[in-house]
Chain A
Amino acid sequence: MLSSLTEALRQVMAFDGVRAAALIDIATGMVVGSVGEQGTDFPAAAASMADEVRTARGVAGFGRLGGDLDEISLVTKGRLHISKVLGSRPGEGMLLYVDLDRARVNLGLASLQIGRLAPAVLA
C-alpha cells in the first residue's frame, strides 16, 4: 500500500527536471515524506530549509514584504530549490520542497506548476 502523501509527491515528480520532492514540517525540520534522488544529507538540508522559512517569516512578519510568506526559491549553479509554504495546523505549517535540475527548467514556470499542485499534497 502506498501512502496518499507519497502518491501526491509522485505527481510532483512527473514535472520535467524534478530530482526530488519532499514534505517538510517547518516546526521541527523533519522530512515527513519524500520521493526521488536524496543524498545522505537530505534530512539536514530539509531542516535548513525550515530554518530559512523561519528567518524569512521574521522579516516578512512585520508587513514589510507585502503579505505572508508563500515561497522561497534558492538558485545554485546547477539546481533550483523551490520551497512552497503550505498552511497546516498544528504547528508552523508544512513545506513542499522541490529540487530541480536548473538546465532543464525555467524558474517562473516551475514555480507556477508547483504552486498549482501544492494544495493537492495535503488534500
Chain B
Amino acid sequence: MTTEGSEDGPAGPLREALTVCAAAGMSGTLRVTGHPGGAIHLVDGRVVAIETPGAPSPEVLLLRSHRITESDWDTAFAAAAVAGGRMSAELIAREMVGSGELEGVLRTALADAMFVLASGTVEEYRSEPGPVDFVLPVEPGAETEWLLAETSRRIRVLASLPDRYDLNRVMAAPGAAARPGARLVESQDEILALADGRRTPRDIAFALGQGVFATILQLARLREADLLVTASRRMTERDRREPGHQAPGDEPGSPSKLPRRQRDRSALLRNPKTAELRAPLRLLQPRFGRSPGSGETP
C-alpha cells in the first residue's frame, strides 16, 4: 500500500517502523521503497545516517557550499581509507571543519533527508540488521523522537505556507525582471538565477549545497515577494529519465506557459558560483570507494 506524507508527520507506517527499530536498539538499515525512498541507518537504536536521492548528503552539503574544497575532501578521504580511520575524525584533525560545526551539518542533513522521505510516498519498508557503513555518520546517533518531532514540525510549517510547495514542482522567476529595483540578498540572487522554470526545489538545493527544506522556505519568501512563480507542471519521472524530453509548452518557438526571466543567462554568467553549474559536476559522478546511492543527484 502506498502512503502519502501527511500533516501528522512522517507517513504512519514509517514512523511506526522507525520507533520499533529504535525501541529494539537495532543496528542496521531500515530500507524504504517509494518515491524518493532511501535507507535509514541505525546504530543501537539511534539514527546515524539517511541516504535518499531526494536530499543532499552531508558530502554534497559540504562540497557544493564550498565549505570544504574537493581537493581537501579527496585528501582526507584517501588518508582515512589508508589509516582505516573515520572520515569525520580526519576532517576535524585536518582543521577543515570544527567538530561542533560538523555535528551541526550532519544533524541538519539527517533532518532534511527524513523530511524528504516523509514528504514522499512509502510503498514498503524492511529492516536489515547488520553493520552500517556510511562515510559521515552522526556520532552519537540522533534520537528517533527528536528526528520525528522535527520532521512533523517541518511538515506543519510547509502546510502553513500560503502556497503549496512540492519537492518536484518546477519553479520559475519571471518577477525579478519586472521588479529590477527589488532588493535581494546574495543567496536570493543565486536562487533566482537557478529558478529557471526547469529546476525543482530539490534541484536547486543540490546545486547550492543546502537542504531541501531550507530551499523551500527561501523559495516561499521569494514567492511572497512576487519574485517567483510556482510553475504549473511537476517534474515527472519521464522528465528525469529522458533529459531531452520537453514538456508541453516548452517546444522551441511555441509560446511557453512559463514566463522566463530574460536575465537568467546573464545572471548565471555574472555569478561565479552559479557559472560553475554549467559545467558537468564532478561531484555528481560516482567516486571510488563510496557506497552507491549516497543521496547524490542521479
Contact = CB atoms under 8 A, between A and B. Distances in A.
A105 to B, nearest CB: 24
Interface in A32-65: 32-33, 43-44, 47, 57-58, 61-62
Given A3-B140, A43-B149, A91-B210, A28 B104 contact: no
A25 interface: yes
Contact of A32 (B108, B157, B183, B217): B108
Main DSSP-derived SS at the A contact region: mixed
Nearest to A86: B101
B99 interface: yes
B211 A5 contact: no
A122 B104 CA distance: 8
A92 B153 CA distance: 19
A8 B104 CA distance: 12
Given A1-B140, A3-B139, A28-B111, A94 B217 contact: no
B100 A5 contact: yes
Contacts of B208: 90
Give the contact-size bracket for chain A: 20 to 34
A8 B100 contact: yes
A2 B214 CA distance: 28
Contacts of B103: 3-5, 32-33
Interface string B43-73: 0000000000000000001101111000000
B120 interface: no
29 contacts: A2-B140, A3-B140, A4-B99, A23-B100, A25-B108, A25-B214, A27-B214, A28-B111, A28-B213, A30-B108, A30-B150, A32-B104, A33-B103, A43-B153, A44-B153, A47-B157, A88-B105, A89-B67, A90-B61, A90-B65, A90-B105, A90-B211, A91-B65, A91-B108, A91-B214, A94-B101, A121-B100, A122-B98, A123-B101
Given A31-B150, A121-B100, 20 more contacts: A2-B140, A4-B103, A5-B104, A23-B104, A25-B104, A25-B214, A28-B108, A28-B112, A28-B211, A43-B150, A47-B157, A61-B185, A88-B104, A90-B62, A90-B67, A90-B105, A90-B209, A92-B187, A120-B100, A122-B100
Interface of B: 61-62, 64-67, 98-101, 103-105, 107-108, 111-112, 139-140, 149-150, 153-154, 157, 183, 185, 187, 208-211, 213-214, 217-218
